[in-house]
Structure 1
Amino acid sequence: MNTAPRRDITLERITYLRGPNIWTYRPVMEVWLDLGELEDYPSNLLPGFNDRLLALLPALEEHHCGVGERGGFIQRLREGTWAGHILEHCVIELLNLAGMPTGFGQTRSTSRHGVYRMVFRARNEEVGRVALQQGHALLSAALNDEAFAVPAAVEAIRQAIDDCYLGPSTASIVAAATDRGIPHIRLNDGNLVQLGHGARQRRIWTAETDLTSAIAENIACDKDLTKTLLTSVGVPVPEGQVVDSPAEAWEAAEDIGLPVVVKPTDGNHGRGVSLDLRTREEVEAAWPIADAEGSEVIVERYIRGDEHRVLVVGGKVVAATRGESLWITGDGRSTVVQLIDSQLNTDPRRGEAEEFPLETIKLDREPVIRLVLERQGLTGESVPAAGREVLVQRNGNLTIDCTDDVHPDVAQIVSLAARVVGLDIAGIDLVTTDIGKPLAETGGAIVEVNAGPGLLMHLKPAEGQPRPVGQAIVDHLFPDGDAEPHIGRIPVVGVAGTRRSSLIARAVAWLIHLSGRHTALACDDGLFAGNRRIERARFRNNHQFWDAGHRLLMNREARAAVFQNPPALILDDGLPYDRCHVGLVTDFDGFTGLEHHDVRDAEQLYKVLRTQIDVVFADGAGVLNADEAAVLSLAELCDGEVVLYTQQGADGLSAAVRDHLAAGGRAAVLRHGCVRLVSAQGEQLGVDARKVLARHGLADDAAYTEALLAAAATAWAFGISPELIGAGLETFELHAPA
């Protein structure tokens, strides 16, 4: 028994940074750690620790760490590294094992002895917290030579992922949007997601979009009405009748001609569908199974061939799969249920979670399968003879990709079917003996048109090539050739610093509004949509301020957005947007009150406010106060154009500003109380700041003047003309609304 004193680290503070932050562009979990006595015991001074840790997590061998090659972290362990850094790698490895690959992590010391800040990439706060909890427990066990169940820890993280993450269909669309640089916002705990911002957004709910007609969805749910519409344009469909009872079902079957299919009119996923029925007993037995799944029951002519699912997006076929029948083979000892479990449910594609393309087969919830067995004289408890092949499911498992086999005539017909129903995204179910031939030749027909089709069968087919269906949907929602350079985005302006930053943000929003864009604004004075304040500044903390500002990006009317970003907001939550078109930094004065973030001077604040410049697009602009040397030094970090502003224009420009202009740059310069906009093309009058101040009963105030200068430079960087800047600032209300 281990009687040595316990060694552990204390998690002092856990902060989820939801937007771009001092560490990275992406969301991370920041953890403040107190190592206690472990500050004096790096890993090479802890007997047996490294071996115990690697026994628990042998894949740590793959971590490159700062060494930059496989085994790099092991090298650090043997040389001696501290517990905070080790915890970082434990958490990352547990996330990797749980199926959430994570590569980013950092650990840095603070000004307090033995206290560190550790961060790791966390796509979701709840998953990040569970991973941290499990990683901390694992490290504690390794430090104290205690048992730890790694599989249970991984399963806990997987469960958190299942509870929190998007379904596979939605996730594939979001991933495709991310690949195109389109941001997304999750609007609920399920699969309702906004792609893009403001007026340029689209919304998806799994494979339904805001272009999907509610009328079309209702038509698709009514199988009889769907068939009527398809018949009217010559799309082949099986003859059928809606019936109200088992007796009526048999009468309809006699009229149509055997064999027939009995199914619900508004069912989906093949539930309640019985195929190839040839006797009165079979037809009447199938009626209650279908009736339990839908509002009405329909009897249709049975079409010979295999079931196929064809995905149509925006009128184009983007994927197709074929079904296969399921069989089990008797061994003379096992029951049907046991054979299903041993021969079918062991398929790794089957499971109860959403990421599995196939469901586990359980007879107690599969009346159609029970009916198929009964037609063969079997039940779940029957023991088939050795070698006897038993049909379990006919034409299920639409998981064999056949996209490249679809005949052009079939593609034209399924596209027509989607258009007739009115769906922008449709899963067309058809039956044919060969999808590589016209339906007229094979006698095939379309049997269903489905709204909101699942995509997993196309993303993870059992056989064949996965298809980029998420990309097809994103390309449908955001077509190429869009006039705006950043697809799905509205222009965003960020104002960082503390010198009249709320006033500057209001002025910039006013000027953008005058240029013809409905502009959203988040600042200390409240939230604004256009000229209307929609929420007063009553935020108790930065988390509420972040939430409120982020909501502006959901506003479908917004065609531009302006955000005031105080340093504390970046430290507590990150920026409320991922990238911006114009980013302004006014000063490094705002470090007072940030001691709990270990920020105590302007040099440390530099690392915070650089975030605003780091997220500027390459075709955007960073606006910097040239009168502050530290702020001016941010210019080298800006991927886009740099626009300067300075009050030192009357007595001659500084060397830095002169060099900037000589290199073809732009600057807003204050000369004798007037804002001048200077570039290689010449110099233009922006506005007489003294007149603006006088109109509000203010003397020649340096702080207000600097704010007007910064606002003019930012609006100019945004693309607003000097003439409109001048006229707009003259009419701008300096005083904040009451």
Structure 2
Amino acid sequence: MNIYAQILIDEALARGIQVEVVDEEAGLYRLCYGSESVLCRESLTEKTCATAMTICDDKSLTHRILHKAGLRVPRQIIYKDMNQALNCIKEWSSVVVKPASGEQGRGITVDLRTEEEVKQGVETALRHSHHIILEEFVQGRDIRIIVIDYEFVAAIERKPAFIMGNGKDSIRQLIERKNAHLVKKTNGESQIPITMETERLIRRQELEWHDILTDGQTLQVCKTANYHTGGTITDVTDEVSPFLRKIAEEASRALNIPVVGLDFLVPDFAGEEYVIIEANERPGLANHEPQPTAERFIDFLFPKKNKNGKQLITLG
């Protein structure tokens, strides 16, 4: 099983909960204890209703639901044509183009400031969905917050992929070398895309694929901060303010989803400024170790089982 399913399976087995692998490739498994049975796909379970999945699968619908709940989100519209997009650039200075559905950063281009860049972004997004979103680009630190059973559990800061020069290899060679390391380290889960979007970002920094970085020089090669596109993750659970924890819990209730990964942009983890940009109905809980995400996940599914595998008895 992949790491996102295996971490949850291991926690279940440690508590004496029976595990049946239904489909290894899809990360689909069933947890059973006594008369209770829950079908899971990684961290997505039968406890998440179809309407919550529908909301999270459509980024524009997620945006509308959160906005109606009084939570802060970037300005956003459905893409219609380039004239509309150019008006957005004038009003917002910079835009994000992304498919309305999808995950792991696929098809998303960030910080677009010209007509040509938006055209390229639209072409990229259309490969993944016919429903395209234009969104205001907001500067900030990217933080993924995990909520389980409508309670804050963990948070990581996500930083976009970068490479470091050695004075010998070209930018392309450095990316290829780092990708070989990432693929081996993550079992193919993470690698930096080598695409027109990567080339756009490199050229914006007045460089080309064949250029050689000086020893120790760093270069950002991706705008999206997703782990699957070579980004790095750092646990920041203890740094997140009570206010942001409360907002994450409110967002999970607004979306009616008990297990969710919420993507925030914030200037300061300890502060109260934020926007919520996305909600993931199947967050990778393995990315949040050493925080007890697997433990809290099993607690949620089987509240009568404690960490020692013993059944809890409620008197009353």
Residues in 2 aligned to 1:219 and 1:352: alpha-carbon distance in whole angstroms: 35
2:16 to 170, 181, 195: 181
1:390 to 202, 212, 219: 219
Q: In structure 2, do the counterparts of structure 1 residues 487 and 249 end up closer, same or farther at CA, with 3 Å as the change threshold? A: farther
Matched, 1:167 2:21: no
Hey, what does 1:210 align to over in structure 2? Answer: 46
Residues in 1 aligned to 2:232 and 2:249: alpha-carbon distance in whole angstroms: 19
Q: How many pairs were matched up?
A: 303
In the TM superposition, 1:607-618 aligns within 5 A as none
Does the Cα contact within 8 Å between 1:308 and 1:398 map onto a contact in 2?
Answer: no
> 3-state SS of the aligned residue for 1:467?
coil
Hey, what does 1:475 align to over in structure 2? Answer: 299
Q: In structure 2, do the counterparts of structure 1 residues 198 and 250 end up closer, same or farther at CA, with 3 Å as the change threshold? A: farther
| Structure 1, 411-420 or 393-402: larger mean CA deviation | 393-402
Residues in 1 aligned to 2:197 and 2:174: alpha-carbon distance in whole angstroms: 18
In the TM superposition, 1:674-685 aligns within 5 A as none
**Coordinate RMSD, CA, aligned:** 2.6
| Structure 1, 265-274 or 183-192: larger mean CA deviation | 183-192
In the TM superposition, 1:532-611 aligns within 5 A as none
Cα deviation, 1:284-342, whole Å, max 9, x if unaligned, reads 22221122222321111111111111111111111111012333345565322102234
Residues in 2 aligned to 1:240 and 1:375: alpha-carbon distance in whole angstroms: 25
Matched, 1:376 2:205: yes
One-letter amino acid of the counterpart of residue 383, structure 1: D
Residues in 2 aligned to 1:334 and 1:412: alpha-carbon distance in whole angstroms: 47
Hey, what does 1:303 align to over in structure 2? Answer: 138
Instruction: Provide structure 1 residue ranges, at least 5 long, that are not aligned to the other structure.
Output: 1-165, 460-465, 489-738
CA-CA distance at 1:192 after TM superposition: 1.8
Q: In structure 2, do the counterparts of structure 1 residues 479 and 198 end up closer, same or farther at CA, with 3 Å as the change threshold? A: closer
Residues in 2 aligned to 1:383 and 1:222: alpha-carbon distance in whole angstroms: 40
Q: In structure 2, do the counterparts of structure 1 residues 352 and 421 end up closer, same or farther at CA, with 3 Å as the change threshold? A: farther
Hey, what does 1:410 align to over in structure 2? Answer: 244
One-letter amino acid of the counterpart of residue 370, structure 1: E
Does the Cα contact within 8 Å between 1:312 and 1:415 map onto a contact in 2?
Answer: yes
Q: Structure 1 vs Structure 2: percent identity of aligned residues? A: 27
CA-CA distance at 1:354 after TM superposition: 5.9
**TM-score, scaled to structure 2:** 0.86
Cα deviation, 1:513-555, whole Å, max 9, x if unaligned, reads xxxxxxxxxxxxxxxxxxxxxxxxxxxxxxxxxxxxxxxxxxx
Residues in 2 aligned to 1:225 and 1:362: alpha-carbon distance in whole angstroms: 28
Q: In structure 2, do the counterparts of structure 1 residues 208 and 354 end up closer, same or farther at CA, with 3 Å as the change threshold? A: farther
Matched, 1:194 2:30: yes
Does the Cα contact within 8 Å between 2:164 and 2:219 map onto a contact in 1?
Answer: yes
One-letter amino acid of the counterpart of residue 477, structure 1: L
1:294 to 129, 132, 146: 129
Matched, 1:238 2:238: no
2:275 to 445, 449, 461: 445
Hey, what does 1:316 align to over in structure 2? Answer: 151
Residues in 2 aligned to 1:352 and 1:244: alpha-carbon distance in whole angstroms: 41
2:109 to 271, 274, 287: 274
Q: Rg larger in 1 or in 2?
A: 1
Does the Cα contact within 8 Å between 2:169 and 2:213 map onto a contact in 1?
Answer: no
CA-CA distance at 1:487 after TM superposition: 4.7
Residues in 2 aligned to 1:194 and 1:368: alpha-carbon distance in whole angstroms: 40
**TM-score, scaled to structure 1:** 0.39
> 3-state SS of the aligned residue for 2:96?
strand
Residues in 1 aligned to 2:287 and 2:212: alpha-carbon distance in whole angstroms: 31
Q: In structure 2, do the counterparts of structure 1 residues 481 and 182 end up closer, same or farther at CA, with 3 Å as the change threshold? A: closer
2:173 to 332, 338, 341: 338
Matched, 1:229 2:52: no
One-letter amino acid of the counterpart of residue 450, structure 1: N
2:183 to 351, 364, 369: 351
Cα deviation, 1:91-121, whole Å, max 9, x if unaligned, reads xxxxxxxxxxxxxxxxxxxxxxxxxxxxxxx
Cα deviation, 1:373-401, whole Å, max 9, x if unaligned, reads 24334453x22453664320235225111
> 3-state SS of the aligned residue for 1:411?
helix
Cα deviation, 1:52-77, whole Å, max 9, x if unaligned, reads xxxxxxxxxxxxxxxxxxxxxxxxxx
Residues in 1 aligned to 2:292 and 2:81: alpha-carbon distance in whole angstroms: 44
Hey, what does 2:228 align to over in structure 1? Answer: none
One-letter amino acid of the counterpart of residue 361, structure 1: I
> 3-state SS of the aligned residue for 1:202?
strand
Residues in 2 aligned to 1:481 and 1:345: alpha-carbon distance in whole angstroms: 41
Q: In structure 2, do the counterparts of structure 1 residues 434 and 251 end up closer, same or farther at CA, with 3 Å as the change threshold? A: same
Instruction: Provide structure 2 residue ranges, at least 5 long, that are not aligned to the other structure.
Output: 226-230
